[in-house]
Amino acid sequence: MEKLRRHALDLRNFDLRGAFNHDPQRAEKLSLSFGDWRIDFSRQKINDETLALLREYAEKTDLPRWVAALFSGETLNHTEKRAALHTALRQQEEGASFARREILRDVRGAQQAMKTLSERLRCGALLGASGKPVKTVVNLGIGGSSLGPQLVCDALLRADDFDVRFVSNLDAEDLERALLGLDRETTLLIVASKTFKTEETLTNARAALDWLQADGGNKQELLNRHFVAVTASDEAAKAFGIAPENILPLWDWVGGRYSLWSAVGITIAIQSGWQTFVDLLAGAAAMDKHFHETPIAHNAPIMLALIDWWNTCFAQIGERIVVPYAFGLRLLPAYLQQLLMESNGKRIDWDGNDLHKTAGARSAVSVWGGIGTDSQHAFFQWLHQGSHRANIEFIVPTRYRGQSQRVGLLAHALAQPQALMCGHDCDFEIDTANATDEDIARAARVCPGNRASTMLLLPDLNAWHLGALLALYEHRAFIEGVLYRVNPFDQFGVELGKALACPLHNALERNTTLADADAVTQAQLLYVQRFRK
């Protein structure tokens, strides 16, 4: 760590333009490949010595052992005493050692059930209570039970795909909009909840059942024909009224933000076909293999995680911004917020130390973003001329729908990192004491440049490449957790607000006060009670 701190001081005035002028081979030396991907981090404020020190630290931290532990099923989620075996969900080779054999057997059984259900739906063989074939599926879930599958469905959507919709928010309007114009007789509800206790999901499920019953009909028959559950709690799903044969399994070793590879991804298979889901799994499995077997210097998830960690802890860059130049990836920033910030947004390390009180320690940075070119007309002004330090990541599929328009989009995607690095009129200095209006106008146009970025170039945005991309981010999050020395697989902070909401819910229902609430909450409660009806 001390070597890296001293090195960071040496690089505090690092100039990207000068670095490229000094080393014409920099772009080739500071890039990686994964198959036919190009992963270019030459516009990061690092040099050969930085990479050598990061690799040295990775060896000292024994990152390869952590990678092996992930795939062998060790209990990496130590606070909840669980393994993190999401890679088993996409394992393709029966004889591989990625997970215990009995787990692979369970996964294969779940996948067969998913295949059967999705194919019955797509060919019109699944009938509702009135005997009409199901034509629309509405997924009820939140967090990992919605973000991942919705991202994939949105990214891979084609005009002739099966109609799949997503509802996650507790606000009734989310469900109302999803159900707008749908036929009750031809709609299937999928309730995705690991515990089958999630308030948002179950509230929406009960409201959806009421919607189904609006025209009459036997409640249990409607549940039997129009509801499917994806859960690790069969008994809770059965208590809700869902037929046992309509329950797809989850397991406690599947974290919510990794669950799109499980039966939670049934919506992907329904919308785009079983082979598409298989291709998604295959792409992720290829990235798993790369992550598991590739030496540190050429390992894309490890090297990108090391650079992310360097930016956070040593370069003092506090923002990570993801900008995909593909409309199909418009939901990726929201997906990554959960993956990265829920995984590594922690204050306590493995040993119970408070990271805010530990010298040199940091927790994960904030992650946000948007799609190009829309973002160029929004927050790119802040990127080019703002005073905050940010690290920008561009994701660019080179072959992707609308070939004639794609050329223009690719030109913008290549131009933005160049503009961030080179800037405009960088050497202009204004003498404010004697400045003319022309001087002030010119100063306002200066873009200082020297802004760090990474470029991920993919040949295509199909299911295989999308699967590999999402697995890349998963493994980066895991390695960053190891580097931060936090558990990336628990999320106790999520529970606090839920626990506090329960007594407030009761007070609102009964129109009473809440004796043990703080003064501010009490005042807000009274205000809400005054106007809520």
Q: Which residues are catalytic?
A: 342, 377, 498
What phi-psi label fits residue 363: left (phi over 0), alpha (psi between -120 and 50 degrees) or beta? Answer: beta
Q: Which residue's entry shows tokens 């690790």?
A: 232
CA pseudo-torsion sign 381, 384, 389, 393 = positive
Q: How far apart are CA 61 and CA 221, in angstroms?
A: 57
| Partners of residue 248 on adjacent β-strands | 230
Q: Helices 199-212 and 219-226 meet at what angle, rounded to 10?
A: 120
Here the tokens at position 322 are 């993801």
The enclosing H or E element of 438 equals: helix 437-444
Which DSSP string corresponds to 106-141?
HHHHHHHHHHHHHHHHHTT--B-TTSPBP-EEEEE-
Q: How far apart are CA 403 and CA 155, in angstroms?
A: 17
CB atoms within 10 A of CB 240: 19
Here the tokens at position 377 are 């007309």
What phi-psi label fits residue 62: left (phi over 0), alpha (psi between -120 and 50 degrees) or beta? Answer: left
Say which amino acid occupies 142: I
Here the tokens at position 324 are 């995909």
Report yes or no: 128 and 243 within 8 Å, Cβ to Cβ: no
Say which amino acid occupies 235: E
Q: How far apart are CA 470 and CA 531, in angstroms?
A: 44
CA angle, 180 then 184 then 190, to 5°:
85
Beta strand 163-167 with 453-460 is: unpaired
Report yes or no: 89 and 254 within 8 Å, Cβ to Cβ: yes
Q: Which residue's entry shows tokens 């470029």?
A: 455
Strand, coil or helix: 331? coil
Q: How far apart are CA 364 and CA 21, in angstroms?
A: 33
Q: Report the candidate in 321, 299, 257 with the shortest Cα–Cα distance to residue 63.
A: 299
Report how far Cα 80 is from the mean position of its chain's Cα atoms: 22
